[in-house]
Structure 1
Amino acid sequence: MEKDKIISRYYILYCLLIISIGCNNANNSLYYDSFTTGISLSGKRLETDSVMLRYPFRIKHKDSLAIIMDLHHPDYFYHAFTYPRFEYLFSFGKRGQAPEEILSAENFRLTDNGMWGLDANKHLLTKMSVGNITQATNEKETPLDKEIIRALDFALYDDSCFVIPDYSGKHRFHIMDKNGNIKSSHGKIPSRKHKKGDIALAQAWRSFIDYNPENHTLAMVTQLGEVLEIYNLRDSTHVVKIGSHGEPEYNESGGMAIPSGIMGFSDIQVTNEYIYTVFHGRSFKEIMQQPQPTTIDGGQYIYVFSLEGDPLYRYTLDHFIYGIDVNERTREIYAVDVNSNQPVVKYQLKR
């Protein structure tokens, strides 16, 4: 009898040991501190003299059309170019308060017959036709659900839905229909330091997102810190990867998040094979101590992950950039550099 009790105790200890090892392995799988391959890339600047861009933040292409979104242009938010030569065509998305004008531009998504743009200040998504090479016209405006707190990014989910990040702290993202109504809410902020989900935490964990319907992969990266999240919307799997700079750091004041730590990611693109991101990795102290007027803005790295979140390639660039457009077929990346009057930079990918 005593022997049976001893065996039973050892069995329980063995099971606890196995569980402990399993938990430790699971925790270790959250973190990465290096990439399989490190490569330096030199870019080629493309001339865009026909239009003066002030703060080009996003760049995307579809077929033979490329669009650059400029946050600080005095008249227009969007600028159309030929692709891949980047010959200027026209500007659209007039800045202003009139019904068909834009107060703020957060991001845009190209479709087969036009594009969608997000205006956080007007709390709506606008579908625009950009087929005409001399102008763009608004086709549809979709007011966002009142429960959505100042949406700062979005992705096209399918022909009838959008993905919108949640900024209340209660969820990670919403699926929203084309009428602007929330259909479902998903996920929690995966913070290991803060367990209470609130607006300050959601602000600190502000993320840029992208979705690829071909592989059902939704990926998001934090603007502060170094966190990548991957959701497979077909099988509901969720992967979190935290880099050496850790999760977003912030101080709370009056219920708002005051950033500290580092500037993290600024753009993301999910292709059929990989997840491409732009990473900064500079502390706010370093940024604030830069000598004037030679302040450098942007990230000098492109991090490439597998669709499962494995860190594969770390590209070090010769320019500081914000947005990217990846063409895997031609193995080219077009990026925008806010520090130059010739902001479009072309990189040839190496493996």
Structure 2
Amino acid sequence: MGPITPLAFVLALLCAGVMGFAIQRGGTCTVAAVEEIVDQRSARRLLALAEASLWVTGGLLLARALDMLPAMPEGFALDRWTLAGGALLGLGAWVNRACVFGTVARLGSGEWSFALTPLGFYLGCLSVRPLFGTAPHHPLAGGSPVLASPAWAVLPFLVFAAWRLLAPLRRARTRRALAECLWSPHAATTVIGISFVLMLLVAGAWAYTEVLAELARGMAAGIGARTALLAALLLGAIWGGRGVRRLRGGTIAPAQGLRRLAGGWLMGWGSLLIPGGNDGLILVGMPLLWPYAWAAFGLMCLSIGAALLTSRHLPIPHMLRALRAARMKP
């Protein structure tokens, strides 16, 4: 993030807060999306995440048409590190019980044990190099196919955007019905995509996992502004939980704390090997149609699904309960 004007920075903070609010209200989470597929045979949440990427793509096309497109981050080649990182990212999200989006949503609901997930992520970023060495990330030779598309490509998006924005207004008869429709998982991810595009235009591409990774690497350039955006994101999520009385509070059990640390740690490893956390994949890599981002996110979802199915078929929980019962017997 380069230097920006105070007014632009205030706007970026506002966008980050709105994004956090939408993440919390919509319960945005890749783990929840995969659980919905496994348990309900429904892909609504996963399609909503894909739509967030679509909104970012359309926003980039519109910004290009208006000659407002900022410098975009580079893409990377798809290799074995990408695949390993995607698997670790999914495994970490399953252990944590939430992806990096879901962690923000759960923090906003007052589940304070999830405050340990970013700490675990940071520790994972610190330890990835001693364990895995330096993953050779090769930049893509060409640019994004989205940005190389013809100028008229923005027109179908404008039609789609008008339809998606007007549909809730037509369906909702009351203010309460409109609020419920607006903060459904599908609509909330639309708000996330739009907020991200606005923030991208005024402050550049940003993902909160990148802040933690840069802190771990000791990169100081723009870190203060990025950390402020992270704080705004979390405050927006907490405000969203407060507004609907979802704040739960309570103490943090040791087992919960260990799960959050371990899950964050694995996600930190995965994000540096890919490179990118699932927030960056969904909001930057996938909208730009970079193959490595789509492959990493797909493998993340498969890893979560495999871990869910495996854990439900293994008798480990029953064995643990039996051991506890045996210990309680005189």
**Fold shared, TM-score > 0.5 on shorter chain:** no
More helix as a share of residues: 2
Which has the higher Rg, Structure 1 or Structure 2?
1
TM-score by length of 2: 0.22
Q: TM-score, normalised by structure 1?
A: 0.21
